[in-house]
Amino acid sequence: MAVDAGYMPEETAKSFMERYQGMFVSMPPETVLRKVLIDSGLVSMQLMLVARAKGYDTLPMGGFDQVTFVEAFDIPERYSPVMLIAIGKAAKPGHPTVRLPIEDVAFFNEMPKA
């Protein structure tokens, strides 16, 4: 798509594709799965942020029965559902939540000793 839009030369796109296909073919399945789960989480986060920016509410659902979902929606074997995301307008405002202080979960330059 980037080539068609004029954002990337065709040679660059071809080089990217060859390198990534070669990289993934040579990786153990556990490593590929780990990368897919990280990328899926990032895509999910972005989708939820975009939905929010457009006035929609979202709810991620990671705890679903994947086998039943795949069967119910006839998902091809090459796909592995990672997360379901409900997107819509909330019927009522959500309840307040509490978060850990940022200094307890984010660190700059070094990990705490304890």
Checking if the pLDDT of 114 tops 80, the result is: no
Go through the domains of the chain in sequence order and give each one's CATH number. 10-91 (3.40.109.10)
Mean pLDDT of the chain: 92
The pTM (predicted TM-score) of the whole model is 0.71
Position of tokens 């070669």?
Answer: 22
pLDDT higher than 90, residue 100: yes
In the numeric block, which tokens belong to residue 64? 């679903």
Q: What is the dihedral of CA 83, 58, 41, 50, to 10 degrees?
A: 140
Residue 56 to residue 49: CA distance in whole angstroms: 9
Q: Considering only the C-alpha atoms of the chain, give the largest distance between any 2 of them, rounded to a whole number of Å.
A: 53
pLDDT in tens, 8-20: 999 999 999 999 8
